[in-house]
Structure 1
Amino acid sequence: MISYNPKDWITFIFRFHKADTFRQLIPMMLFIGLYAAAIAYLEIEYWVLPENSHVKNISIMHGMLGFVISLLLVFRTNTAYDRWWEGRKIWGSLVNNSRNLALKLSAILTEESDRAFFRKIIPSYASILNKHLKNEQTSKQLFDGVVLEHHNHRPNQVAKILFYKINELYMSKKITGDQLIILNHEIQSFTDICGACERIKNTPIPYSYSAFIKKFIFFYVMTLPFGYVFNLGYYVIPVVIFTFYVLASLELIAEEIEDPFGHDANDLPTKKIAENIKRHVEELL
């Protein structure tokens, strides 16, 4: 995740970060610019369309559809941000639950061997969950026609070890039945957190919705030069490029943050969170 000062306007305006959408859109912006230049040349120099040409009225369509595309992009961005923020809340719960489990075990356990076991295994869950969510195979579990062979669910394996160890402590009378129930709730929350993360990871925005927005933006921008050449002349080229940059950037930002567990610059720092959990648990145990 990018560390920055939200009050530093100058840096935002004049600095192009590697996560900036401008870099990704340069090839498409060049194509749009050449396309707009070709349409402007044909209308002004070759076809020599009169001012009362019906082509000029195409801009009316853009005025009508501008509100629609704005609503779609706002909804798209908000939906993607909700997924990003939900992922952050889920990992915040993992931090708290790991601390609570370590605190309770620190008070309950007396033998150093048992404490050393949990000192190692509790942070391991966060670390393995981080790798599990970044694995491309994880996101394909719900796809039709995709069969994942020899794919062990590693977070479940760690949770299984935790449950076995807690039950072993109970059977050896190192903890009471009441303490078993308390610890069971904390360990169960790990699996709940994993399931919530997989729900976000495995369920992308519906294909039809995402494809429609991309097509809408493309055809909206590609028809802009026809009507606005009459008012702007060759200045329609930078206007169309900038319009495309704004609309396409919103879609790219939404695509990046809708999967908060990837490797993009704006994704959640799950590796760093896992390292913090390890440090906190080792301190408590």
Structure 2
Amino acid sequence: MILRKRPSILGLFLVLRGSVIQVIWKQLLLVMAVALAVVWAHGALPQVVVALDFAPFGLIGIALSVFLSFRNGACYDRWWEARKLWGLMIQTARDMVRQTIVLEDTPERRQILMALVQFGHRAAKQLRGQPPADSADAALIEAGRSVSRLERDGRLTGTEALVLHESLARMAGALLGCERLAHTPVPFAYTLLLHRTAYLFCIMLPFGFVDELGWATPLAAGLVAYAFFGLDALADELEMPFSHNQNAMPLTTYATAMEIALRGALGDSDLPELPKPVNYLLT
């Protein structure tokens, strides 16, 4: 995830880290090269390379903009849901710190909370496609077994055990929600239609600009392409919130925050440092 202050007016045009320009520069060069070729060919062979009426491009551009906005909204909802699900896991872990106070200074409390530490780190790896030796769900199962043993031994009341099991169930449900987002992308046909339409529109656009703008056509076509291809690329990144792209969730940071809260409650002093952004990128 990119974390940085809003740059100055000049900086807005110079910032590369966090900009989609790194992803779409090839498409922009292609569109501008085509536009340059169209301007030259129209001047040299006006009977062969003809200019087109701009009105249809305006209507198609409006429709494409609405389509892009709708897709970006859907992808941002996925990204924001991922953030809420991880927030729920961290909150529930902190809740269990308080719920296990009845077991304070016992090895069983450490066992339960350390299982949650393992859960956080394993969940982060699983969602990024790096399966750990044991699954995140296995850590929750181990914590649940500990709670059940304590209830059978009479060291937890039925109500206390129920509260802890409900907390573990919330964490399992949040992880399942994250797995749903990670393994269920936006339907491919939907994305393909948008890609094709954006490419065709931007490639044809110079024919609508050439009579009015002349040699300024490549610049105008490049600006339009930057907006359309940029929104498309941003939606691609937001669609998969647990990937390795620069706008993905900082899962390592979230898992470490969970570990600090849990181990801090156990009185551990050798706590890890919360990761900091490197070149504005928080992992």
**TM-score, structure 2 length as denominator?**
0.88
Aligned to 1:268: 249
Task: Please tell me whether residue 157 in structure 1 is matched to residue 138 in structure 2.
Answer: yes
Greater CA drift, 36-45 or 113-122: 113-122
Opposite residue 22 of structure 1, the aligned amino acid is I
Aligned to 1:143: none
Aligned to 1:173: 154
Task: Please tell me whether residue 129 in structure 1 is matched to residue 128 in structure 2.
Answer: no
Distance 1:82 1:153, change over 3 A: farther
Task: Please tell me whether residue 235 in structure 1 is matched to residue 216 in structure 2.
Answer: yes
Task: Please tell me whether residue 86 in structure 1 is matched to residue 70 in structure 2.
Answer: no
Task: Please tell me whether residue 44 in structure 1 is matched to residue 43 in structure 2.
Answer: yes
Match of residue 94, structure 2, among 96, 99, 111: 99
Task: Please tell me whether residue 73 in structure 1 is matched to residue 72 in structure 2.
Answer: no
CA deviations on 1:128-159 (whole Å, 9 max, x unpaired) are 1111100078xxxxxxxxxxxxx987122111
Greater CA drift, 251-260 or 40-49: 40-49
Matches of 1:136 and 1:113, distance apart in 2 = 30
Opposite residue 117 of structure 2, the aligned amino acid is P
Opposite residue 173 of structure 1, the aligned amino acid is G
SS in 2 for 1:261: coil
Matches of 2:150 and 2:16, distance apart in 1 = 52
SS in 1 for 2:166: helix
Greater CA drift, 76-85 or 33-42: 33-42
Give, in angstroms, the shift of residue 235 of structure 1.
Answer: 1.4
Percent identical residues: 22
Distance 1:236 1:265, change over 3 A: same
Aligned to 2:2: 2
Opposite residue 93 of structure 2, the aligned amino acid is S
Aligned to 2:113: 119
Matches of 1:136 and 1:277, distance apart in 2 = 19
Matches of 1:171 and 1:57, distance apart in 2 = 80
Opposite residue 219 of structure 2, the aligned amino acid is P
Whether the 8 Å CA contact 1:44–1:233 is kept in 2: the answer is no
* Residues 57-68 of structure 1 mapped to structure 2, 5 A cutoff: 57-68=52-63
Matches of 1:124 and 1:152, distance apart in 2 = 11
Aligned to 2:278: none
Whether the 8 Å CA contact 2:111–2:143 is kept in 1: the answer is no
Aligned to 1:144: none
Q: Unpaired runs of 5+ in structure 1? A: 138-150
SS in 2 for 1:39: helix
Task: Please tell me whether residue 216 in structure 1 is matched to residue 216 in structure 2.
Answer: no
Q: List, as ranges, runs of 4+ consecutive aligned residues in structure 1 with deviation greater than 4 Å.
A: none
Greater helix percent: which structure? 1
Matches of 2:62 and 2:130, distance apart in 1 = 37
Whether the 8 Å CA contact 1:42–1:48 is kept in 2: the answer is no
Whether the 8 Å CA contact 1:58–1:227 is kept in 2: the answer is yes
How many pairs does the alignment contain? Answer: 266
Distance 1:58 1:208, change over 3 A: farther
Matches of 1:182 and 1:208, distance apart in 2 = 44
Give, in angstroms, the shift of residue 48 of structure 1.
Answer: 4.9
Matches of 2:11 and 2:27, distance apart in 1 = 23
Task: Please tell me whether residue 187 in structure 1 is matched to residue 178 in structure 2.
Answer: no
Opposite residue 99 of structure 2, the aligned amino acid is K
**TM-score, structure 1 length as denominator?**
0.87
Give, in angstroms, the shift of residue 110 of structure 1.
Answer: 4.3
Aligned to 1:15: 14
SS in 1 for 2:53: helix
Give, in angstroms, the shift of residue 177 of structure 1.
Answer: 1.4
Give, in angstroms, the shift of residue 256 of structure 1.
Answer: 0.5
Give, in angstroms, the shift of residue 85 of structure 1.
Answer: 0.8
Matches of 1:28 and 1:103, distance apart in 2 = 53
CA deviations on 1:200-243 (whole Å, 9 max, x unpaired) are 11111111110011111111111111122111112111111221
Give, in angstroms, the shift of residue 88 of structure 1.
Answer: 0.7
